[in-house]
Structure 1
Amino acid sequence: MENLPRNRSMLAALVLLLAGCATAGAPQSGPHLSPTECRDLAAIRSNAPPTRGQQQSELSALRKAGYNPSPWNDDPKFPENLHAAQRLVDQWFKTECQQSQPG
């Protein structure tokens, strides 16, 4: 009986931790790309030489899509992870950025 309050607080902490993990993995609602990212991705797709800011926007979008480049170049799933993130960013660009473009 002495451990009952301790077990309850441990259980409550565990429930909160698991709830936080579950919501962190939940899909994000609303737009995934910012207006700046949309603008910069559109500029990159126009085949003009990209600026550093445009490249940063592209990397930011790829990171939102789950790509995490390794600073040591030792990612065993390297091109696959990048390609999967690029496909997701392309989908977001088509659904979110094209709607906000005039024309």
Structure 2
Amino acid sequence: MRKPHLPGTCSILAAPVLLLAGCVYSGMPPPYTGPHLSPTECRDLASLKSNAPPTMAQHQSELNALRKAGYDPSPWYDDPYYPDDLQAAQRLVDYWFQTECPHIQPG
């Protein structure tokens, strides 16, 4: 005996899958082909790594680089992913620093 065909069943089941696929796709940033760090950010990050007394401008450069790496310092203090999201952004900025700023030595 055949099961009765319910019209629209396939489209009802496919809709959430397509919706989720769209959310996943739209959440991914487009590939970036240029350098991630500016020359100023490279210089300021090198200064911060040298353990010299930091300036406010150097802290701003570091924060800008972390934001480029996906970190969002939430004003609500209830980020369930903190400190993991900050540490992941720091690792990415360190990678960018190593690959994009080889000519700048800390010091």
TM-score normalised by the chain length of structure 2: 0.70
Q: Over aligned residue pairs, what C-alpha RMSD do you find?
A: 1.8
**By percentage of residues, which structure has more helix?**
1
Q: Which sections of structure 1, spanning at least 5 residues, go unmatched?
A: 1-17
Residues 16-38 of structure 1 deviation map (CA, whole Å, 9 limit, x = unaligned)? xx8xx76x711211100000000
Query: Which runs of 5 or more residues in structure 2 are unaligned?
Result: 1-21
- Between the two structures, name the one with larger relative contact order (CA 8 Å, sep ≥ 6): 2
Runs of 4+ in structure 1 off by over 6 angstroms are none
1:43 to 27, 47, 52: 47
The aligned runs of 1:1-103 (5 Å cut-off) are 25-98=29-102, 100-101=103-104
Cα deviations by residue, 1:41-73 (Å, 9 ceiling, x for unpaired): 000000011100000000000000000010121
Q: Which has the larger radius of gyration?
A: 2
Structure 2 letter corresponding to 1:45: K
Aligned-partner Cα distance in 2 for 1:86–1:31:
16
TM-score using structure 1 length:
0.73
Identity level (%): 65
